[in-house]
Chain A
Amino acid sequence: GAGVSQSPSNKVTEKGKDVELRCDPISGHTALYWYRQSLGQGLEFLIYFQGNSAPDKSGLPSDRFSAERTGGSVSTLTIQRTQQEDSAVYLCASSLVEQVEAFFGQGTRLTVV
């Protein structure tokens, strides 16, 4: 595709429910990143995928968060048993290879009520 695509754009969920957020990177990009941005805050690194290597999960805030990347392309971020503090914008970015420019999707705004 022309750019990084994320879905849904907005998600409202009840506390305790599971949610799945999707990221479709730019075609051919081997690296994919997930970030979380709470209102008025900076970008918090969550997880990073590069090709077939084991992902860097060092930023996942708890074991309720997980992510996978299938076939080296689409990635899904799953949050189990959502809490109100999970409310934020979840951003996905991709880059052609490591150490070069990364481009962001439009983000998914998650609201936990």
Chain B
Amino acid sequence: QKEVEQNSGPLSVPEGAIASLNCTYSDRGSQSFFWYRQYSGKSPELIMSIYSNGDKEDGRFTAQLNKASQYVSLLIRDSQPSDSATYLCALYGGATNKLIFGTGTLLAVQP
């Protein structure tokens, strides 16, 4: 089982819709979770961090964490074509402080 799993996509949504990106992880000891956005040819950019169970909202972005189910998600409301990118889920290992990444989900927002 991979440490961090994401559906590679592409996930295609129409402009203005809600995009839902999901991530599961295997290390129950993980405490810190992050979402990064990576445009083609660019380096990853941090967009959200979440440390506690529940929802965390920042503008059009909402991160959701459920440690019991080992599941973290990212919702993007009112999706825009400029949101088209690869979204990477990341977390620190529970037993180590190694920051590990999923392979990313490609999001395509159709105008």
Contacts and interface: CB of A to CB of B under 8 A. Distances in A.
B69 interface: no
B46 A42 contact: no
Interface in B71-110: 88, 90, 92, 96-104
Contacts of A45: 98-101
B31 interface: yes
B43 interface: yes
Contact of B45 (A33, A100, A104, A107): A104
B34 interface: yes
Interface stretch (A61-69, A77-85, A91-99): A91-99
Given A31-B97, A42-B103, A56-B96, A101 B88 contact: no
Interface residues of A, number: 26
B43 A41 contact: no
Contacts of A33: 99
Contacts of A104: 36, 43-45
Given A42-B88, A99-B31, A99-B92, A105 B43 contact: yes
B49 A101 contact: yes
Nearest to B86: A42
Interface in A33-75: 33, 35, 41-43, 45, 48, 50, 56, 58-59
Interface string B31-43: 1101010000011
A48 B49 CA distance: 20
B49 to A, nearest CB: 5
B89 to A, nearest CB: 10
Contacts of B45: 104
Nearest to B36: A104
Contacts of A93: 99
B101 A91 contact: no
B98 A58 contact: yes
- A-B pairs, top 6 by smallest CB distance, nearest first, are A42-B103, A98-B97, A43-B101, A104-B43, A99-B32, A107-B43
Interface of B: 31-32, 34, 36, 42-46, 49, 88, 90, 92, 96-104
